[in-house]
Homo-oligomer: A and B are copies of this chain.
Amino acid sequence: MAIADLARDNLHVPAEVTSLIAEYAHVIDSGRFEEWPNLFTDPCLYRITTRENMDRGLPLSIILCDSRGMLLDRVVSVRTANVFIPHSYRHMVSCIQLMESGDNEWRLRSNYLVTRTMPDGTMCVFSTGEYRDHVVMVAGEPKFKERVVICDHSMINNLIAMPL
């Protein structure tokens, strides 16, 4: 979508939206996973897919959750399964762009980069890609009605323990 297609008065990304996007990152990066489902509406759509799938028009998802309950299941499995070595993420989100806006709802895209730090201090760029979000206001609070994570790569299927 070219900027030309957007109304000039629609370019502004409101503070409610940037704050929600920031909160999402901080919730995960500080390990407050239990708060993560509350950033979504219920029902909702949280989906991780790859750029390759998107380019080919494939509806395949690496992860798909359509309710807070499913999101919470993921959190519980992170907390209890513990099959992975404890590590932490750090999200960088930039190039947030408003695609469409309506009455208290916004469609946006942004770029993300997530680093992973292991207990021994080893750090790597874990995932990069794009977020496509649908944000709505619910009782005065911004929530993700939809967050689609499009990874630039396709080799992390069995590595994703925590949400991206």
Q: Hey, which bits of chain A sit against chain B, CB under 8 A?
A: 2-4, 6, 8, 11-13, 15-16, 18-23, 25-26, 29-30, 35, 38, 51, 88, 90-98, 109-111, 113, 115, 117, 120-121, 123-125, 128-130, 140-142, 152-155
Closest 8 CB pairs of A and B: A121-B155, A22-B95, A12-B15, A11-B15, A22-B97, A117-B152, A90-B128, A121-B153
Residues of B within 8 A of A92 (CB): 92, 94-95, 111, 113
Evaluate contact between B8 and A153: CB separation under 8 angstroms: no
A130 (CB) vs chain B CBs: closest residue: B29
Query: 5 A-B residue contacts at CB 8 Å?
Result: A22-B97, A22-B110, A26-B95, A90-B130, A123-B125
Evaluate contact between B142 and A95: CB separation under 8 angstroms: no
Q: How many copies does the complex hold?
A: 3
Q: How many angstroms from the CA of A136 to the CA of B107 in the assembled complex?
A: 26
Residues of B within 8 A of A19 (CB): 3, 6, 11, 97-98
Residues of B within 8 A of A120 (CB): 155
Evaluate contact between B90 and A113: CB separation under 8 angstroms: yes
Q: Which of B4, B96, B115, B155 contacts A141 (CB 8 A)?
A: B4
Q: How many angstroms from the CA of A19 to the CA of B8 in the assembled complex?
A: 10
A128 (CB) vs chain B CBs: closest residue: B90
